[in-house]
Amino acid sequence: MKTMLPRTLRTHILLAVFSLIMIYPMLWWFGAAFKSNAEMSSPALFPAEWLWSNFSQGWVAIPKFTFTHFYINTFELIGGVLITSILSCSLVAFGFARLDFPLKNFWFSILMVTLMLPSQVTLVPQYIMFNTWGWVNTYLPFYVPHALAGGIGGPFFIFLLVQFIRGLPRELDESAKIDGCSWFGIYWRIVLPLTKPALVTVGIYCFLWNWDDFFGHLLYINSVSKYTVGLALKLFVDSQSALPWGQLLAMSLVSIIPSLIIFFMAQRHFVDGIASGAVKG
């Protein structure tokens, strides 16, 4: 024990130092949210005077709109995406995991190949298609792909759910069939409730990835009245006036609160879903 203690202590010190290096930008971000523009160049991590007004002023800094409006837009967009993505991906995963149909392995292989396809490859064709249909400046370019088991993370979600469903006993399906349950009934009444940990995992990933999807929102949403929180933050950048750094950083700090709440509330199910999918797959 005496010989191991110094080595263990050195290891912990080294890890603590690297941890501080990693979290230093976040600490600076937190402190800068309470600074004035004059203090932004100061090497001090935290301000001499804490300006809580950065939050109240930043919340109403955008002309005609407050961040309440942008939060409502964001939850409206992501709420629809979340529901359609979970239902469509779980239905497709159930088909791959439980049903037998021609070329099943081939189509599953094609699905796996799409995981390696960069999103930039389909960006231009998708935009041209959605623009032709008149969907630009609406939320349809986000709803429809997710409703068809596409969108951000669609193939990954299907793969994760397939691995989880394959670990469920097939005797449950057979018992349901004896009771006269259809395949959709088995999916809706048996499989879907049992995949709750995996569905929570999919929901967390879907929420976080779409919440952080600045480029996709910027590409398809043009009207300020339909802006999400991420797009609203860029409105602080005005070439005609000085950039209010304190207000911008305060609002960016507020913008991560929903993600933190969602993650910590569902953390137990998230870990269970990842572990179960890995073991049962």
The residues spanned by each domain of the chain are 94-280
Note whether 77 and 210 are within 8 A (CB): yes
At residue 262's C-alpha, the angle toward residues 89 and 158, to 5°, is 15
User: What's the pTM?
Assistant: 0.85
CB-CB neighbours of 151 under 10 Å = 25
Q: How far apart are CA 241 and CA 234, in angstroms?
A: 14
- Stated length of the chain: 281
Predicted local distance difference test score (pLDDT) of residue 220: 95
Q: How many helices (H) and strands (E) does the chain have?
A: 16, 0
Query: Is it true that domain 94-280 has CATH number 1.10.3720.10?
Result: yes
How does pLDDT run across 227-278, given as a tens digit for each residue? 999 999 988 886 556 788 899 999 999 999 998 888 888 777 666 655 555 4
Our measurement of the distance from residue 36's CA atom to the centroid of its chain's CA atoms, rounded to an integer in Å, reads 32
First to last CA, the chain: 40
Q: Tell me the C-alpha to C-alpha distance, in Å, between residue 246 and each of 30, 31, 55, 236, 260.
A: 10, 9, 8, 11, 21
Predicted local distance difference test score (pLDDT) of residue 55: 93
Note whether 235 and 66 are within 8 A (CB): no
Q: How far apart are CA 98 and CA 166, in angstroms?
A: 8
Choose among 56, 216, 228: nearest CA to 142.
216
Predicted local distance difference test score (pLDDT) of residue 237: 81
If you search the block for the tokens 């759910």, which residue do you land on?
A: 161
| Single-letter amino acid, residue 100 | D
Note whether 34 and 52 are within 8 A (CB): yes
For the chain, state the CA radius of gyration: 24
Predicted local distance difference test score (pLDDT) of residue 70: 96
φ, ψ (nearest 5 deg) of residue 130: -65, -35
Residues of the chain with pLDDT under 70: 1-5, 238-241, 269-281
Torsion, CA 149, CA 151, CA 157, CA 162, rounded to 10: 30
